[in-house]
Chains A and B, each alone.
Chain A
Amino acid sequence: MRILKSALLMTALAALLIAPLGSAMAADEIKLGTIFSRTGPLANLGLDSWRGAELARIVQNQKGGLLGKKIVFINGDAPNPKAAVSETERLCTVEKVPVILGSFSSSISLAASAKANQHKVIYWEMGAVGDKITERGLKYVFRTSPTGSDLGRDQLRFALGELAIKIGKKPAQMKVASIYEDSAYGTACAAGIRDQAKKMGVKLAVDEAYNHKATDLSSLVMRVKAANPDVILESSYENDAIMFFRQAQEAGLKIRQYVGSGGGMNQPGYKKALGNAINGYVCNVGYPGYNLNPAYAKGIKELEALYTKTFGEKPTSVFSVINYMGAMALWDVINRAGSLKPEALVKAALATNIPGDKTILRYGIKFAGPGSKNMGQNVLASYFISQWQGGQLQIVSPAGAATPGHSLQVK
C-alpha cells in the first residue's frame, strides 16, 4: 500500500514537473498532421511517400522552421479510406492541426480530404493522382502533384513534341493511336489524351478501350495495325501490356514508339517478359526518380544522401521526391500566410506562384482558383518521360533532365 502511495505521489510530481515543460515546448512548435498508409497493403509506397515529406520537414527545421517555430508531424495511419476518415477526424479535433499532408493513394485522399475540408483544415495532397480530388470544389484542398488525366495530356504532348522531332515528322503528320484498359486508371488517361488532342487540333487514328483481364488482344492489335500509326499511347496494367506487345510482334505491327503512362509498362515484370525488345522502343510518362540529371534537378543528389542518412537505406521508390517537393511548397505558403488561420492559409495558397527554377523538379506551382473546375490543382505540374534503355528506365525528357549519358532513342 505504501509503495503504491509513493508511486502515485511520484507520478503526480513528475506530471507537475513535465506539464509546464510540455506546454513550453508546444509554444515554439508548429504541429502539422500527415495521412499516409503506414500499415496495410499500400504501406510500402505510402511510407516512402511520407519519407519525402519528413525530409522536407528536417530540411526546413535546419533552416529554422516556420514562423520562427519548429515543425512537428503528428502522423496518422490510414491503411484504408475508412481509417483515413477517422484518423483525419482525430487530427482535426483532438490534435487540432491546421494542415494535413497526404497521401499517395487516391481513395485515401478522397476520403480524408473531404473530412479535413469539413473542419476547415487545409488538405495538402502531394502524390495521389485521382482527378476527382480537386474536382469537387473543396476550398481547403490543394494538390501540388499532377493528376491522372495529366498522364494522358503529357503522353500526347511528348508524342507530338520531342518524339515527333526525333522521328522527323511534323506534329500534324504524326498518326497517333490511343489504347487503354477500361477501368478508372485507363479511362482517366485516355480522357486526358482526348482533351489534349482537342486543344492541339489533332485527330486520334485509334481510340480504343479494352478489358485488362482479356485473354486475347489480337483483334485490338489488328485494329491498330489497320490504322497504321506512328506511335501508340498505351495505358495498361502489366499483364495486358505484355500481351499486347507480344501479339503486336506476332502480327508484325510496325510503329516507331510506345508511350505508356506508368501502370504496368514501367514494372520489372514487363521488362523480364519482353527482354531486349523494349529497349529504345517503350517510353513511360510518370514521376521521376533520383536518376534525374543533378544539373537540372538541383539538390537531387543531396536529397538522396539525406534520405539514405535519415532512413538507413537507399530510396525504395521514386515517391519521396514529389512528396518532398510538395511539402517544400507548403512551407512557402505558411511563411507567406504569416499565420496558421485557415483563411490566411487559403489566401496565401491561392496567391502561390513559385517559378519552375525554384523547385527541385523544375515545374512551378500555381493553383487553379475558385470557379475553375479543378480548384486547388497545381496547373503547372507535369510528368517526366523515361525510356527503357539497356533494361533500365532512364529519364529522356525534358531533354535537360535526362539521366546523364542518356537521350531519347527511336527505332
Chain B
Amino acid sequence: MVFLQVLINGLFLGGVYALISLGLTLIFGVVRVINFAHGEILMISMYASFFCFSVLGLNPYLSLIIVIPGMFLVGILIDQVIIRPIRNAPSYMQIFATVGLSVVLINLALVFFSGDYRSINLAFAKQVVHMGDIGISLSRFIVFISAIVVAWLVWLFLDKTDMGKQIRAIAQDRDAARLMGINPNKIYMITFGIGSAMVGLAGGLIMPLYYVFPSVGAYFVLTAFVVVVLGGLGNMVGALLGGLIIGVIDSLSGFYLDPALKEMVYFVVFLGVLLFRPSGLMGMIGAEEMGLK
C-alpha cells in the first residue's frame, strides 16, 4: 500500500514536471532556441495567477482563462523582440540572449514583487480523496490529468491541423517549407506563443500547490531540461514520459533510499539513458538535427 502511495506521489510530481516541459520541448523542437528564460515565463505566469487571486479574488483555476492567453501574448512578444533579430545567428548567441532575458526578468520581479515567498491559501488545494489507505490530492490529480491531455491535444494539433502541419514542416526543413509558401516568421511566433501559453497553464495549475518568488523558475527548469533531453528533444510524448519517469524515480528513491540522494539517482538514470540512447527515449536518431516527431 505504501508502495502504491509513493508511486502515485511520483506520478503526480511527474505530471508537474511534464506540464512544464511540454512548452519547452515545443519551442526547442520548432523554433530551435534553447530557451533559458523558460523558468521565468513560468515565474511570470505564477505571479499572474497569484495576483489574479489576491487582487481580483479570482480562483486560480478560473484565472487560467486570463493567464493562458496572456502568456500566449508574452511568448509572441519575446519571440518578436528578442528572438527574431537573432533568428539566424549562431545558437550560442541565442543562448546568451535568453540567459540575459532570464536575468532581466528575475531582477524586474525582485524590484516589483520583492524576494518574498508568496502563496495562495486555497482550501481546494488541500482536499484529499481517500481510497482505502491511498490519499489522492485533487489539485495534483488535476495537474497530472492536464499534462496528459495537453500532450495529447498538442500532438493532435501538430498531426491533424493545417497549422500543425506547417509547424512540422518548418521544424523539419525551414527552406523547403518556405518554398511551399509557409511564412516561417509567423509559425515561429505562434509556436513560441503556444509554448508559453502551455507554461502559463502549468504556472496557473501549480500555483495553489507551490509558492512563487523571483527565482522560482530555476528550481523547476533544471528538471524540465533533463525531462526534455530524456524524452527526446522536441517530442511531446517523450516530454510526458520523461516527466513521469523522473517524478517516479524522484519519489521512489526518496522513500526507499534517502531523500538527500534522489537527485543523484535520477541524474544517474539520465546519464545512463544518454549513454545508450543519445537522442533520448522517444527521439529519433539525429532528432536534434531533424526536429519534431
Contacts and interface: CB of A to CB of B under 8 A. Distances in A.
A binds B: yes
Interface of A: 182, 208-211, 213-220, 222-223, 226, 238-239, 242-243, 246, 249-252, 269, 272-275
A219 B117 contact: no
Contact of B135 (A214, A252, A272): A252
Contact of B251 (A211, A216, A242): A216
B162 interface: no
B9 interface: yes
Contacts of B118: 269
A275 B219 CA distance: 25
B155 interface: no
Contacts of A218: 6, 9-10, 13, 251, 254
Contact of B223 (A209, A210, A215, A250): A215
Contact of A239 (B117, B253, B260): B117
A255 to B, nearest CB: 16
B259 A208 contact: yes
Contact of A250 (B2, B6, B126, B247): B126
B226 to A, nearest CB: 12
Contacts of A214: 259, 262-263
A215 B16 contact: yes
B263 to A, nearest CB: 7
Given A215-B223, A222-B5, A274 B251 contact: no
A250 B13 CA distance: 13
B16 A242 contact: no
Contact of A215 (B117, B126, B219): B219
Is the contact region of chain B dominated by helix, strand, or loop, or is it mixed?
A: helix
Nearest to B20: A215
Given A242-B117, A273-B211, A274-B121, A209 B5 contact: no
Contact of A242 (B119, B135, B250): B119
A355 B140 CA distance: 55
Interface residues of B, number: 38
B215 to A, nearest CB: 10
A210 B255 CA distance: 12
B219 A217 contact: no
Contacts of A272: 119, 121
Nearest to A221: B9
28 contacts: A208-B260, A209-B259, A211-B260, A213-B219, A214-B263, A215-B210, A215-B219, A215-B220, A215-B223, A216-B9, A216-B250, A218-B9, A218-B13, A219-B251, A219-B252, A222-B2, A223-B254, A223-B255, A223-B259, A239-B213, A242-B117, A243-B210, A250-B126, A250-B128, A250-B135, A250-B137, A252-B128, A273-B117
B9 A219 contact: yes
B16 A239 contact: no
Contacts of A242: 117, 119, 211
B47 to A, nearest CB: 15
Interface string B242-283: 000001001111110011101100000000000000000000
B127 to A, nearest CB: 9
Contacts of B263: 211, 214
A239 B215 CA distance: 12
B260 A209 contact: yes
Nearest to A218: B9
Contacts of A226: 2
Nearest to B3: A222
A219 B10 CA distance: 8
B142 interface: no
Interface string B195-223: 00000000000000111010000011001
Nearest to B208: A246
B259 A220 contact: yes
A242 B117 CA distance: 10
A251 B6 contact: no
B219 A246 contact: no
A275 B137 CA distance: 19
Contacts of A223: 254-255, 259
A217 to B, nearest CB: 7
B259 to A, nearest CB: 4
B258 A208 contact: yes
A238 B117 contact: yes
Contacts of A219: 6, 9, 250-255, 259, 262
B260 A210 contact: yes
Nearest to A269: B117
Q: Which of B117, B223, B250 has the most CB of A within 10 A?
A: B117
Nearest to A276: B121
Nearest to B218: A213
Nearest to A208: B259
Given A216-B13, A243-B211, A273-B117, 17 more contacts: A208-B259, A209-B259, A218-B9, A219-B9, A219-B250, A219-B253, A219-B259, A220-B259, A222-B6, A222-B9, A223-B255, A243-B210, A249-B126, A250-B128, A250-B137, A251-B135, A252-B130
Nearest to A213: B219
Contacts of A208: 258-260
Contacts of A251: 5, 135
Interface string B127-138: 010100001010
Contacts of B130: 252
A68 to B, nearest CB: 49
B116 A269 contact: yes
A210 to B, nearest CB: 4
Contacts of B251: 216, 218-219
A383 B130 CA distance: 41
Contacts of B262: 214, 219
Contacts of B125: 246
Nearest to B126: A249
Contacts of A217: 259
A273 to B, nearest CB: 4
A35 to B, nearest CB: 26
B217 to A, nearest CB: 11
A124 B37 CA distance: 47
Interface in B32-70: none
A390 B210 CA distance: 24
Q: Which of A208, A218, A252 has the most CB of B within 10 A?
A: A218
Contact of A220 (B16, B126, B213, B254): B254
